[in-house]
Amino acid sequence: MSRLAQWCSRVFMVEINQKTEPIYFALSSTPSARNKELEALFGSGKLFSVHALGDDRVQSARSHAHLKSALTEDLPPGCQLLDTASFLPDVKNSLVRGFFLRDNSVLSSAERVVTHLRQKGSVCVFTYTRGQNGDYLCSDEADEPAERERRYYVTPAPAPLRHPSTLNIINSDVFYQMKDAYKVLQECSDVIPESKAVLELVEAQQLELNSIHDERFPVIVIEGLDATGKTTLTCSLQKALGAVLLKSPPQCLAHLRPRFDSEPPLIRRAFYALGNYITAAQIARESSHAPVIADRYWHSTAAYAIATAVSGREENLPAVGSEIYEWPHDLLRPSMVLLLSVSPEERLRRLSHRGLDKTEEESQLEINHLFRRKVDEAYKRIQNPACIVVDANPSPDHVLQQVLGLIRNKYNLQTPGH
């Protein structure tokens, strides 16, 4: 079967604008009626779809990221790059990400870029043209000569029940047991030698964890978007409660973080997932003699990962109660998770006052209201334990008193010196 024929079983999703509904279509051997949405997608110029190919999941994820930067850099004026995904409707793990390249340039410049990519190999390119009857036809110019003659029609497809970008989250973006995240870093240890250091740290903590008894003091996690006041509050809580302050990712991974932040989601999220297991071992150790305050933990890992993976609007997130929001069964559960919530205006005011360098993701947060809404909503949907939302707009002392009230209510903890 030709490569193109294989893609005929799949549905394509293209998002022209993340705020609007995506366009869904399939490839078929029979023509279809004219369709306004498809006309809007195809326009009058030439169109190409490009997918990276890879032998395994690490290579595929990295090839996709490289393809994106190559296309973004080489794209001539008049051309437009659109994110696309092909999938089998409602079938888990069937999503393949790629791009559409719309060429409305006078010189058909995208063709040169695409030809160059084809020559380099490791990409799958299809060409879309307008037929005489106004149909859109798809062909694979790199296929066997006999197959090259074969054309498929582009036909509209219905929207699936589950948004396609939720299909691959489990074990690609969010990991529900340590061994799954561990395996990802094992698989990339040849291309990212730093992975070995992470795996060794996890191993060392796990060995130690076996000799630690059940926790006795409360473990309180403080969550929230950047600049919601986590650092300020966790330091105050540490003093007020005589607590031990921990972070996820833990300090021992801080020097490796920039390396993994530059990798595609599969690898980056596996790194953060493992960071939580190292922090968990530290929590288990410290909570035997004092209350523990943790600045970020699994809620952050899952909420950012889900919000990045799910494209478009908040409505595309997996529904409340989905297995995606479940806590990993092998990760130490905190006693309480508090989510600091501030208005978008107050958060921006704090960010601008701080004037520090922001991570790329945080800069994106600033301009990407949609993304921030998704992170916030994903935080709130995570279960067992769910988070308690705290209004963090008031002054630092007011927020501290509010949180101390919540903690004391539950645990009857004394403030040192009281």
Ligand X SMILES: Nc1ccn([C@H]2C[C@H](O)[C@@H](COP(=O)(O)OP(=O)(O)O)O2)c(=O)n1
Q: Contact positions toward ligand X, by CB under 6 A?
A: 226, 230, 248-249, 272, 275-276, 296-297, 300-301, 304, 359, 361-362
Please report, as residue ranges, which positions from 211 to 230 form the binding site for ligand ADP (by CB under 6 A).
Answer: 224, 226-230
Peptide bond into 164 cis (omega under 30): no
The continuous run of DSSP H or E covering 238 comes out as helix 230-241
User: In DSSP terms, which residues pair with 48 in a beta bridge?
Assistant: 101, 127
Which one, 150 or 350, has the nearer CB to ligand ADP?
A: 350
From the list ligand X, ligand ADP, none, partner contacted by residue 272 (C-beta under 5 to 8 A by kind) = ligand X
From the list ligand ADP, ligand X, none, partner contacted by residue 172 (C-beta under 5 to 8 A by kind) = none
119 near ligand ADP, judged by CB under 6 A: no
CB-based contacts of 67, cutoff 8 Å, min separation 6: 50, 52, 99, 117, 123
Residue nearest to ligand X (CB): 272
Which one, 146 or 356, has the nearer CB to ligand ADP?
A: 356
Strands of the sheet with 244-247, listed across from one edge? 244-247, 292-295, 219-223, 336-341, 388-391
Pull the structure tokens for residue 9. Answer: 């079983």
Report in angstroms how near the CB of residue 337 gets to ligand ADP at its nearest. Answer: 15
Report in angstroms how near the CB of residue 191 gets to ligand X at its nearest. Answer: 21
From the list ligand X, ligand ADP, none, partner contacted by residue 350 (C-beta under 5 to 8 A by kind) = ligand ADP
Which one, 67 or 307, has the nearer CB to ligand X?
A: 307
Tell me the C-alpha to C-alpha distance, in Å, between residue 340 and each of 218, 326, 379, 396.
19, 21, 11, 12
Report in angstroms how near the CB of residue 86 gets to ligand ADP at its nearest. Answer: 38
232 near ligand ADP, judged by CB under 6 A: yes
Q: Pattern 377-396, binding to ligand ADP, x per CB under 6 A?
A: ---------------x--xx
CA triplet 415, 277, 66: central angle to 5 degrees? Answer: 125
Which one, 65 or 82, has the nearer CB to ligand X?
A: 65
Which one, 361 or 377, has the nearer CB to ligand X?
A: 361
User: In DSSP terms, which residues pair with 389 in a beta bridge?
Assistant: 339
Report in angstroms how near the CB of residue 298 gets to ligand X at its nearest. Answer: 7
Q: Pattern 332-351, binding to ligand ADP, x per CB under 6 A?
A: ------------------x-
From the list ligand X, ligand ADP, none, partner contacted by residue 363 (C-beta under 5 to 8 A by kind) = none
From the list ligand ADP, ligand X, none, partner contacted by residue 164 (C-beta under 5 to 8 A by kind) = none
From the list ligand X, ligand ADP, none, partner contacted by residue 399 (C-beta under 5 to 8 A by kind) = ligand ADP
Pull the structure tokens for residue 66. Answer: 């490289």
Q: Where are the alpha helices (DSSP H) in 293-413?
A: 298-309, 344-354, 360-367, 369-381, 396-411
d(CA 167, CA 91): 7
Which one, 13 or 365, has the nearer CB to ligand ADP?
A: 365
Residue nearest to ligand ADP (CB): 229
One-letter amino acid at 264 equals P
From the list ligand X, ligand ADP, none, partner contacted by residue 93 (C-beta under 5 to 8 A by kind) = none
Tell me the C-alpha to C-alpha distance, in Å, between residue 180 and each of 85, 167, 330.
24, 17, 11
Q: Cβ(239)–Cβ(312) under 8 Å?
A: no
- C-alpha torsion sign, points 408, 410, 413, 414: positive
Binding ligand ADP by CB under 6 A: which of 28, 231, 316, 402?
231
Give 118: exposed, middle or buried? Use CB within 10 Å, 0-12, 13-18, 19+.
Answer: middle
d(CA 388, CA 80): 43
d(CA 92, CA 162): 10
CA-based nearest residue to 307, from 379, 386, 214: 379
Which one, 37 or 194, has the nearer CB to ligand X?
A: 194
Pull the structure tokens for residue 97. Answer: 């990400």
From the list ligand ADP, ligand X, none, partner contacted by residue 228 (C-beta under 5 to 8 A by kind) = ligand ADP
267 near ligand ADP, judged by CB under 6 A: no
Report in angstroms how near the CB of residue 244 gets to ligand ADP at its nearest. Answer: 18
Report in angstroms how near the CB of residue 283 gets to ligand X at its nearest. Answer: 12
Q: Cβ(51)–Cβ(100) under 8 Å?
A: no
- Residues in contact with ligand ADP by CB under 6 A are 224, 226-232, 350, 353-354, 392, 395-396, 399
